[in-house]
A and B are shown apart, each in its own frame.
Chain A
Amino acid sequence: MARYVMVVDLEKCTGCQTCVVACKMWNGLGPGIQRVTVVEKEEGEYPNVRRAYIPKRCMNCKDPQCTKVCPTGATKRDDEKSVVTVDKDKCMGCRYCMMACPYNARTFYKHEQWYHEEPSAWEKKRYKEHTEGVVDKCDFCISRIDSGLKKALTPGVDPDATPMCVLSCIADALHFGDIDDPESNVSKIIEARGGFRLLPEMETDPSIYYLPKRTGNEADKS
């Protein structure tokens, strides 16, 4: 059993939003629905001000809050692939999970709408997986992992088995892999650079690690 995690290098992220667009394209998401957001924050005080970018998506926690509160059991954790999924045919759109999520990582598909008058063939195909009126979120591109594993590919290494946002990142700020495997790319990066997770006190055991900026406070002081 693998434990897939994503590593976000805050040092490298330029806030370009390519991951957002790549995710929307791959998943055929219309306007108003977004699985990845890049939160922008200003840090420091004049004259030492800078902008921080924090790419945020579902943390696919090992002990999530959302699966507990879901009244129908539509949102579940797939322990085999270590991701949290939403059953689009069972979700009734009560949004209790959105309230329970400490990361505000879920999005609600309020209305079926498209960027052009008609959805493209691809958008139509993908729409079936996230219909109007239900809650949607990042699932680490589980369909790509699934089909990759069937072809004996390694998620995070082989492009066909890797989440679309990781592939698209222009700065190589995103990494994906199995943290249980000490030889995997993510294990090595985390070993070398440490990394933190958001709101560890929530005891949700999230699957996204953030690498802090290397320059950190020293840069501010100089």
Chain B
Amino acid sequence: MNENISFLIDFIREAFRGGRIFYSWMSLLTLIVLLGIFSYSRQLQEGLIVSGMSDQVSWGVYIANFTFLVGVAAAAVMLVIPSYIFNDKAIKEVVLLAEGLAVAACIMCMLFVAVDLGRPDRFWHLIPMIGEFNFPHSMLAWDVFVLTGYLFLSLTIPYYILFMRYKGAEAKHNVYFPGVVLSIGWAISIHTVTAFLLSSNVARPFWHTAILGPRFLASAFSAGPAFFLLTLQFVRRYTDYPVSPIIFRRIAIIATAALQINLFLLFAEVFTEFYHQTDHTVSAVYLFFGIGDKTALVPWIWTSLALNVAAVIILSIHPLRERDKLLNLACVMMVVGVWIEKGMGLIVPGFVPTPLGEVFEYSPTLVEVTVSAGIWAAGLMIYTLLAKAAIGIELGNVRLHSSSVPVS
């Protein structure tokens, strides 16, 4: 037990130790988090009336970020599979960082759900075993269940591996491997359940399609690894941790293949919607072309498509992908493109027009934007701290008995 406590103390100490760049970065994030808290306090005081959501468009940018981030959380599995199942030595070097990103993404997801509630004081209803669940009927109840489980797995497996390394021992394969296998299935499930949460609704034809689940996975496995790759560039630049070029190549190939599949699925969806238009196509028409003068989402979705297509072109051509700068650019485009496509471009048109044909548009208010930014900053902060401490332990800088903390 004492070893665990000294591990945690050393872990936190390592997480918060750093130079000028580290503290500037953390200060910037803290500032954004504080801004988010300030905005959220206004929302708490005045209610969701400070948001742009209405009775017609009852979910907005909060849930849009939620769906995107569930994907980022699930995407860690694309590194877990090669490293633990196929024993890919290169990927194994960074898999713990990917799991750290999954933890941060899970926490961001939960925060986004929490800030979307009208009565956040009743959030405890969603805590398994304590709250009252409409289980197994409600997909939201399932979502909370799988997200909590995934967070638990993403915390415990790296904890065990890092703890063993901290003690200078070898992590036992038999101990963590069952957890790894479980977490692979679990990662797929968190994103499938989120897709089912939307696609199970017959009232919203835009989402009521069996392809939504596969689309969610494909977009997650492109944007997630791309985001992770970008963070690895910072790790390579600002830490002593050796990130070999082969890792970037592998992750880029994973993201490329997933993005190709994602674009194909999107094309399949668009073709089916538009080949012969019915009443159910109206939401897609609104998204891509607008209805009358209501065109709020049109620039967004075309920007997203342009970014994704440009990214897939760069990534599919080997000589272009091999260039670091172009690879980074493609990853940024992919992350932003997918963020729009399955965020605002997916959640909002589901509500427009209403079943009776009324067109009400939605755009987020400043409060919603700053609260969202605050949650993103909090997530990046968590990821930075977890990654920093994990790197310190992996490099062997932090070891049991070597620290100044007395172990009794």
**Are B125 and A101 in contact, CB atoms less than 8 angstroms apart?**
no
A199 at the A/B interface (Cβ < 8 Å)? yes
Report the bound CA distance from A103 to B56 in whole Å.
Answer: 10
User: Is A171 an interface residue, CB under 8 A from the partner?
Assistant: no
Asked if A72 contacts B134 (CB within 8 A), the reply is: yes
* B46 neighbours in A (Cβ, 8 Å): 111
Which 4 pairs show the lowest CB-CB distances between chains A and B?
A93-B118, A133-B118, A102-B203, A111-B47
**Per-residue 0/1 for A90-112: is the Cβ within 8 Å of any B Cβ (1 yes, 0 no)?**
11111110111111101111111
Assess whether A104 is in contact with B355, with CB atoms less than 8 Å apart.
yes
Residues from 29 to 66 in B contacting A, C-beta threshold 8 Å: 46-49, 51, 53, 55-56, 58-59
Q: Tell me if A102 and B117 are in contact (CB < 8 A).
A: no
The contact sample of 30 A-B pairs, CB cut-off 8 A, is A65-B201, A68-B138, A71-B125, A71-B126, A71-B140, A71-B141, A73-B133, A90-B125, A91-B118, A92-B119, A92-B125, A94-B113, A95-B116, A95-B118, A96-B138, A98-B55, A99-B58, A99-B201, A99-B350, A100-B201, A100-B203, A101-B203, A102-B202, A102-B203, A102-B355, A103-B355, A108-B48, A132-B47, A202-B202, A202-B203
Closest to A202 in B: B202
* Contact pick for A69, options B47, B51, B140, CB 8 Å: B140
* Contact of A134 (CB < 8 Å), options: B58, B59, B119, B355: B119
Q: Within 8 Å CB of A107, what residues of B?
A: 55
B residues whose Cβ falls under 8 Å from a Cβ of A? 46-49, 51, 53, 55-56, 58-59, 113, 116-120, 122-123, 125-126, 131-134, 137-141, 144, 197, 200-204, 350-351, 354-358
* SS class, residues of chain B in contact with chain A: loop
Query: Are the C-beta atoms of A70 and B134 separated by less than 8 Å?
Result: yes
Contacts of B55 in A (CB 8 A): 98, 104, 106-108
Nearest CB in chain A to that of B56: its residue: A104
Closest Cβ–Cβ distance, residue B314 to chain A (whole Å):
37
Could you tell me the distance between the alpha carbons of A16 and B207 in the complex, rounded to whole angstroms? 36
Say yes or no: is A32 at the interface (Cβ < 8 Å to chain B). Answer: yes
Contact, CB under 8 Å: B355 / A108: no
How far does the Cβ of A25 sit from chain B's closest Cβ, in whole Å?
A: 20
Contacting pair A133 B356 (CB below 8 A)? no
Contacts of B139 in A (CB 8 A): 69
Question: Which residue, A41, A94, A202, has most C-beta atoms of chain B within 10 A?
Answer: A94
Find A94's partner among B117, B137, B358 (CB 8 Å cutoff). B117
